[in-house]
Amino acid sequence: MTIIKQDDLIQSIADALQYISYYHPADYIKALTAAWEKEESPAAKDAMAQILVNSRMCAEGHRPICQDTGMVTAILKVGMDVRWDAEMGLEDMVNEGVRRGYGNPDNVLRASVVSDPAGARINTRDNTPAVIHTQIVPGDTVEIALAAKGGGSENKSKFTVLNPSGSLVDWVLETVPTMGAGWCPPGMLGIGIGGSAEKAMLLAKESLMEHIDIHELMARGPSNRVEELRLELFEKVNALGIGAQGLGGLTTVLDVKIRDYPTHAASLPVAMIPNCAATRHVEFTLDGSGPALLEPPKVSDWPEISLEGGGARRVNIDNLTKEEIATWKPGESLLISGKLLTGRDAAHKRIQDMLAKGEPLPEGVDFKNRFIYYVGPVDPVRDEVVGPAGPTTSTRMDKFSEMMLGDMGLIGMVGKAERGPGAIESIKKHGAIYLMAVGGAAFLVSKAIRSSRMVAFEDLGMEAIREFEVEDMPVTVAVDTKGNSVHQSGPAEWRVKIGKL
C-alpha cells in the first residue's frame, strides 16, 4: 500500500508550477520550430521567431515565458489504495503548493486570481485557489496534471449546444475568426464533445494536456471519427489564414485536440478552449517514493535564431508629433525607445471614475502626446529592472479609447491582438496609432526596459500606472492613423493565398 506524504504533494505542485513557468513542453517547441521554418508571411515568421527566442531565454534564465503566469488547473487521479500521511485536505494541499510555487523568491510568479469576482475583485495575492478536479480510480498512485492558463486565451473559450444533426466543423470555422488574436496563436485548440455543458468544457480543458502529435496522425491516417475531425479541423482552421498573433500566415494552430463523451440523444454539446503560445502544462505521478522529479529539457531542443531587427525603423517616442506617426505603415516593424506610461483595465476604470466625479488625477498621470503600454508585469528579482512584461489583450481597453485619445490627449497605444471597430474609429478620428507587441515573448520584451518607476495607483499591484523607459522595444504597426488594421488585412490576404496553394 502506497503512503503519500503531505509535504511530497505540496513540494511537487510547487516545483511543477515553477517548471512550467519557464519551460515550454518539448513537443510545442518542436512543432513551433517546424511551423516557423515553413512560414512565408514575414510578420508571422518574425512573431514566431520572437516566441522561440523568448522561450530559450526563459529556459536558460528560469523566468516566466509570459507575464500572465496563469490560473492553475489541477486534475488529480487518486488511486483507491493510496494512504495519506497528511493533516491537510487534498484541495488544501494543492493550494498550498500553488502558494509556494507562485511565491518562490528566486522566480516570483504573478498573482492574477481575484476573489469576489462580481464585486470588489480583490487579488488573493498568492494565486489561490486553484481549479481542482479529482477522480478516484483503481491503483496505488496519484497522477497529477497541472496547467497554468492565462486570461487572454481562457477568455476566448466558447460553448454551444448544436442540434444532433448540426455540423461541428462549420461551428468551429465560424467561431475561430470571432476569437481574434487575443489568445496568442499559434497554439492549440482543445475541443470537448458530448456529456453535459460542464462535462464538455472539462473535456476541452483536459484535451489541452495532451502532447502535440498531429503530424504523426497525418502520417498514419485516422482510425476513428474523432481523428478524422482533428485532421479536417487542423487543415481548415489553418486555411483561415489568421496566422501567428493574428497577423496573417500559414499556421494558426499547431494541433487540434478532441475528447468526447456519451451525451443525451437530443443534444450535441460542444466546447472549445484555445491554448496560447505560452502553453504551460505538465503531468507527473506520485508513488510514495518522494516528490516528483521533472527532467529539464535539452538546450538542443531550441533552434538557433538571431533577432537582428535590421529592417526595423528606429523611433524615439519622446516628443513625437501626429505628423510623424502618420508616416508609419500597417505591418511595419519598429524599434521604439523613450518613455511610455503603463495601464490596464483597473487603471483605466479608475481614471474614468475620477473624471466623472471631477476629481484631479494623481501627479504624473498626464497622457498628452504620450504612449501607453497595456501591461501587468511580473515582479522583478535580483538585478532586474522589471520582470517579464509582455503585452495584455488590447480589446479590453477599447471602451476607454475615446476617453484616452480625446479627453486625455494620448497619441499611441501598445498592446497585443486586434482592436475593435469603436477603438479603430477613435484612432482614425484623433490621428493616433496602435502598435502591437508579441504575446508570448514577455522576457524578451522586458530586456528592452531600462528603468521603471511607480506613477500612480500603487494599490492596484500589477495594474498600477508605471513609467517605463525602453530602448529598441520591438513592435509592429497594427492600426495606422487612417484606421487601417493589419489584423484585418493580414488574415484576409493569407486566406486567399492559402486557398491558391
Is there a single domain that holds both residue 143 and residue 132? yes
As a whole number of angstroms, the distance between CA 73 and CA 11 comes to 16
Query: Per-residue pLDDT for the chain (501 aa), expressed as one digit of tens each?
Result: 799 999 999 999 999 999 999 999 999 999 999 999 999 999 999 999 999 999 999 999 999 999 999 999 999 999 999 999 999 999 999 999 999 999 999 999 999 999 999 999 999 999 999 999 999 999 999 999 999 999 999 999 999 999 999 999 999 999 999 999 999 999 999 999 999 999 999 999 999 999 999 999 999 999 999 999 999 999 999 999 999 999 999 999 999 999 999 999 999 999 999 999 999 999 999 999 999 999 999 888 999 898 865 678 999 999 899 999 999 999 999 999 999 999 999 999 999 999 999 999 999 999 999 999 999 999 999 999 999 999 999 999 999 999 999 999 999 999 999 999 999 999 999 999 999 999 999 999 999 999 999 999 999 988 999 999 999 999 999 999 999 999 999 999 999 999 987
The secondary structure of residue 416, as a DSSP letter, is B
What pTM was estimated for this model as a whole?
0.94
Helix (H, G, I), strand (E, B) or coil at 368: coil
Instruction: Please tell me whether residues 194 and 179 are part of one structural domain.
Output: yes
Could you tell me if 445 and 467 lie in one domain? Answer: yes
Q: Domain range spanning residue 137?
A: 1-24+65-150+280-288+297-305
**Do 359 and 444 lie in a common domain?**
yes
Same domain, 327 and 270: no
All three cell numbers of 43: 510578420
The answer to whether residue 501 is domain-embedded is no
CATH (domain of 408): 3.20.130.10
Are both 123 and 15 inside the same structural domain? Answer: yes
Tell me, yes or no, whether 237 and 370 share the same domain: no
CB neighbour list of residue 421: distance below 8 Å, 6 or more residues apart:
none
d(CA 351, CA 403): 9
Q: Which of 148, 142, 167 shows the shortest CA–CA distance to 208?
A: 148
> Who contacts 37 (Cβ-Cβ below 8 Å, separation ≥6)?
303
Q: Amino acid identity of 461?
A: G
Specify whether 321 is located in the same domain as 451.
Answer: yes
User: Are 256 and 107 part of one and the same domain?
Assistant: no
Domain count, the chain: 3
Q: Is 477 helix (H, G, I), strand (E, B) or coil?
A: strand
3-state secondary structure (DSSP) of residue 460: helix
Do 418 and 356 fall within a single domain?
yes
Residues 358 and 210 in one domain: no
